[in-house]
Every structure is written in C-alpha cells, then in structure tokens.
C-alpha cells in the first residue's frame, strides 16, 4: 500500500537507479571530469524523473483528482470496456519529465485488479488504451458507484507497478502505483460526472481536480 506524506520526496522506485547513476558518475570522474559530464547529466535526469513531491489534496468527496501528472489527451463520453457501462473517460499522458507516481483519484475500496499484456505504442495515441500493456483497478467510491482506473505502459515504459489488491482501502491522493519512463492513465467515471478539465490541460496527481461527481450517482 502507498502511504501519505511524510515519505521520501525521491520515490523509492528510483533509489536503485539513482544509486547506480551516482556511483558510475563518481567512478568516471576519477579518470576525467569532462568524460563524466554526460553521466552526471544522466544522474540529474534520473533524479528529476523519480521525484515525488507532496501534494495538497482537496478534501471534498465529490471531487475527483488526477491519478497522474501530465497532460490531458482525452475527455469524452464513451463505454468503459472493462466494466461494460457508459462512462466519462479522462486520459492523462505522462512524458519522461513528469512525476510518475500514480495516486488514488477518490476515496474508496479496491474491488478488483487485473493485468493485461499488450504492446508498447505511443501512450498519447487513443488506441493505446486497449492495445498497450495495462493494469486495471476497479474502485468502489465511498459516495456510491464505481470507477475504473487504468495504468497503461507507453512507448518507452516497460514496467507498471501496482501496490494494491482487492479489499484494500484507498484515500484520495494516496500513492497506489508507479509507471517507469513515460506512460498514460485512463479514468472511466460515471456518465453523470462533470469534467473540470479539457484536452491540453496540465494536471498534477492528487492535486488537480479533473471531474466533479453527481451527488448520489451509482454508476449503474
């Protein structure tokens, strides 16, 4: 399970990568400062990629927060292919410069978690939602109804991490997973939900409100 802050502002998922980068950079520096510069640049890249700053999470239970940092690439009414019901779909694309921790968009209980193998298309493409490697969470919201949250691997991403299982409880803004090196997260909300973002907007996991739920909506 993820935990609320305080926790390391450099994500634990990055500690091994950062340690290796620092050790290699120091070793090369013994031989040549100039030759070591590319390695130090790589170290800085690893450091910024695995940063995980604290976020101010809105308390209103009717507000849905972004599950990932990045740019909104889709907001549309469609069908949830995993729950077979009408939905409002909101998609967030993460590039290699975004924070890659995934956070719970609402308070609720994890009903189901399913992993699907797939390809590694550019995650900004619409067809990546169903063709790429992905991990699907079904969350029963405290206020009623369910939503689907999908972690999707991208062109460079080769590792989806998910730390929750059915029966676990999530608090909005809590870390539940991580995707390495560029990816996407899709949200399928109840069709009555009202989007608070548009395509092209930048969002921040756990902090940016992406939608507002209709009071008493069941999602059925």
CB count within 10 Å of CB 64 equals 28
What does DSSP assign to residue 50?
T
By mean pLDDT, which of 44-48, 111-115, 166-170 is the weakest?
44-48
- Residue 203: pLDDT over 70: yes
Active-site residue, from 32, 91, 183, 217: 183
Side by side, the strands of the sheet bearing 146-153 are: 169-170, 108-116, 134-141, 146-153, 183-189, 85-94, 70-80, 202-203
Q: What is the pLDDT of residue 220?
A: 41
Total domain count, the chain = 2
Q: How confident is the model at residue 156 (pLDDT cuts 50, 70, 90)?
A: low
Residue 83: inside a domain, yes or no? yes
Residue 196: inside a domain, yes or no? yes
**What is the CATH classification number for the domain harbouring 126?**
2.70.70.10
Same structural domain, 106 and 153: yes
Strand partners, 110: 139
Same structural domain, 176 and 145: yes
Q: What is the pLDDT of residue 121?
A: 63
Same structural domain, 155 and 84: yes
CA distance 50 to 181: 10
**Catalytic site residue 183?**
yes
Residue 176: inside a domain, yes or no? yes
The pTM of the full predicted model, rounded to 2 decimals, is 0.82
Same structural domain, 134 and 101: yes
Residue 220: inside a domain, yes or no? no
CB count within 10 Å of CB 7 equals 14
Same structural domain, 180 and 107: yes
Contact of 140 with 175, CB cutoff 8 Å: no
Same structural domain, 31 and 80: no
Residue 1: inside a domain, yes or no? no
| Residue 157 domain boundaries | 63-212
- Residue 123: pLDDT over 70: no
Same structural domain, 25 and 94: no
CA angle 68/215/78 to nearest 5° reads 55
Residue 146: inside a domain, yes or no? yes
Residue 56: inside a domain, yes or no? no
CA distance 181 to 112: 25
Summarize the confidence of residues 90-111 as an average pLDDT. 92
Same structural domain, 141 and 88: yes
CB count within 10 Å of CB 61 equals 15
Measured distance between the N- and C-terminal CA atoms of the chain, rounded to whole angstroms: 28
Residue 99: inside a domain, yes or no? yes
Same structural domain, 42 and 108: no
Same structural domain, 74 and 125: yes
Contact of 88 with 193, CB cutoff 8 Å: yes
Same structural domain, 182 and 155: yes
Same structural domain, 120 and 198: yes
- The sign of the dihedral angle between the CA atoms of 149, 151, 152, 155 is positive
Q: How confident is the model at residue 171 (pLDDT cuts 50, 70, 90)?
A: very high
């Amino acid at each position: 399970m993820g935990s609320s802050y305080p926790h390391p502002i450099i994500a634990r998922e990055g500690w091994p990568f950062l340690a290796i980068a620092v050790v290699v950079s120091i070793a090369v520096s013994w031989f040549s400062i100039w030759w070591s510069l590319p390695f130090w640049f790589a170290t800085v890249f690893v450091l910024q990629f695995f940063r995980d700053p604290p976020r101010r999470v809105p308390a209103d239970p009717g507000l849905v927060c972004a599950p990932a940092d990045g740019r909104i690439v889709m907001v549309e009414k469609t069908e949830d292919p995993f729950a077979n019901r009408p939905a409002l779909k909101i998609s967030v694309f993460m590039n290699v410069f975004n924070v890659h921790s995934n956070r719970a968009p609402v308070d609720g209980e994890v009903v189901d978690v399913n992993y699907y193998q797939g390809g590694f298309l550019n995650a900004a493409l619409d067809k990546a939602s169903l063709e790429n490697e992905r991990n699907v969470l079904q969350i029963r919201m405290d206020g009623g109804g369910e939503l689907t949250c999908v972690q999707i691997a991208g062109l460079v991403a080769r590792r989806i991490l998910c730390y929750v299982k059915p029966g676990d409880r999530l608090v909005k803004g809590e870390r539940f997973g991580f995707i390495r090196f560029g990816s996407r997260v899709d949200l399928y909300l109840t069709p009555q939900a009202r989007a608070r973002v548009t395509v092209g907007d930048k969002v921040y996991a756990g902090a940016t409100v992406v939608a507002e739920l209709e009071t008493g909506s069941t999602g059925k």
